[in-house]
Structure 1
Amino acid sequence: MLTGDLVRLRPMEPSDAAAHHRWNHDPDVMQWFAHSYPVSRERFVDEYADRPKNSYERTVLGIETLADDRLIGLVVLSGAEPETGGAELDIYIGEKDCWGNGYGTEAVRLICRYGFDALRLHRIELWVADENAAAIRVYQKVGFVEEGRARDTLRRNGRWHDMVLMSLLEGELKD
């Protein structure tokens, strides 16, 4: 487990499926994510136990508060390649009452530190919607910088949005 002052990152358990399903079907939580088709809770739970185990190529960890051991979200490092030393980061806080409390910032720092130290990555990148200002602030606070944009990539509420490519190199992580 990776532990900070506010959260710990831990492997996802089959018992986490119900919360994960709820988050994935909450339009506020998923506002800036690419949508998939709805999946029944029963099917989601049944398939959850068959998810691939964590590996160098893909690590999925739950974000749990230290104060009350409550699962509030998840963080993913995927596409890690030893040849390039790179991986892609995804994160979301699914419990809306936990937004804006520093949990996401600490989770990003913890997973990036893990990526650089344990996985020996050199570069971590992510894509974020241009209007997701709260997420962009978190990433900048941790040290991510904007590298470029994919124009009109995500359609929400009748408008097209750019997706911003941000990256963090080994040695740039801010505490």
Structure 2
Amino acid sequence: MTVKNQSLFHGEFLRFTAAYPGDTEHMARFTEDFDYLRRLDTDFAVPSQPSAFAKSSTRSGNSVEFMLRPLENDRLIGFVALFKIEWNNRAAHMAIGIGDPKDRGQGYGADALKMILRYAFHELNLNRVGLDVISYNESAIRAYTKAGFTEEGRMRSSVLRQGKTYDRIMMSILAAEWEALQNG
């Protein structure tokens, strides 16, 4: 594994930061977007109070979370996290959210994926990063596939939305697969 002289906290468009004062209120406003919540999680959609985000830490024993900000300013556009880290298995789950609809489709998600995978494999020395995504979130599935994730399986009809069921797709990428994509 070759570590290039490159900041793990900067990408092509974004940088990772800790939460700034006021970010909890901003993240709570993201949850007022029904579509955002329906793409982010399989739980029922309900806006969150800022206090819900204040309780989450940037770093704990089995999770790491970064706020996403464009390189040119301090505007919060979303978050990316590695959670349920199993140090003995060198494995983690990943989650990403771009809050404002106008920030989606701008390359931020792809950049955040590159950055969090580089961090997972080069800084945390993980071997596997997994995630799950709802089958109707086609843009996320394309982004994950383009980043090198492979579908491992499905939980059929496991998400019920407005009277219709959807699959939950399990995907992952291994360190060796990610390295091969970086070198080839």
Question: Normalized against structure 2, the TM-score is what?
Answer: 0.86
Moved >4 Å (runs of 4+): none
Q: Assess, with a 3 A threshold, how the Cα gap between structure 1 residues 53 and 93 changes in structure 2: closer, same or farther.
A: closer
Which residue of the partner structure matches residue 43 of structure 2?
Answer: 35
| Partners of 2:151 and 2:177 in 1: CA distance | 13
Q: 1:45-64 alignment to 2 at 5 Å?
A: 45-64=50-69
Indicate whether 1:12 and 2:19 are aligned.
Answer: yes
Structure 1 portions without partners, runs of 5+: none
- Are the aligned partners of 2:18 and 2:58 in contact in 1 as well (CA < 8 Å)? no
| Partners of 1:61 and 1:109 in 2: CA distance | 13
For the residue of structure 1 that corresponds to 2:169, the secondary structure is: strand
Q: CA deviation at 1:158?
A: 1.8
Q: Which moved more, 1:54-63 or 1:73-82?
A: 54-63
Q: Cα deviations across residues 105-144 of structure 1 (Å, max 9, x unaligned)?
A: 1101101110111111000000001121100110011100
Q: Letter of the aligned partner of 1:74 in structure 2?
A: F
| Partners of 1:168 and 1:30 in 2: CA distance | 24
| Partners of 2:83 and 2:103 in 1: CA distance | 25
For the residue of structure 1 that corresponds to 2:72, the secondary structure is: coil
More helix by share: 2
Q: CA deviation at 1:172?
A: 1.7
Which residue of the partner structure matches residue 103 of structure 1?
Answer: 108
Q: 1:125-144 alignment to 2 at 5 Å?
A: 125-144=130-149
Q: Letter of the aligned partner of 2:9 in structure 1?
A: L
- Of the candidates 159, 167, 175, which is equivalent to residue 172 of structure 2? 167
Q: CA deviation at 1:12?
A: 1.9
Q: Assess, with a 3 A threshold, how the Cα gap between structure 1 residues 37 and 166 changes in structure 2: closer, same or farther.
A: closer
Q: CA deviation at 1:13?
A: 2.8
Q: CA deviation at 1:81?
A: 1.2
Q: CA deviation at 1:84?
A: 0.7
| Partners of 1:84 and 1:66 in 2: CA distance | 34
Which residue of the partner structure matches residue 76 of structure 1?
Answer: 81
| Partners of 2:97 and 2:87 in 1: CA distance | 26
| Partners of 1:100 and 1:37 in 2: CA distance | 23
Aligned residues: 172
- Are the aligned partners of 2:42 and 2:134 in contact in 1 as well (CA < 8 Å)? no
Question: Normalized against structure 1, the TM-score is what?
Answer: 0.90
C-alpha RMSD of matched pairs (Å): 1.8
Amino-acid identity (%): 33
Q: Cα deviations across residues 52-102 of structure 1 (Å, max 9, x unaligned)?
A: 340341111111111333110111100111111100000010011011111
Q: CA deviation at 1:23?
A: 1.1
| Partners of 2:26 and 2:173 in 1: CA distance | 30
Structure 2 portions without partners, runs of 5+: 1-7
- Are the aligned partners of 2:31 and 2:47 in contact in 1 as well (CA < 8 Å)? no
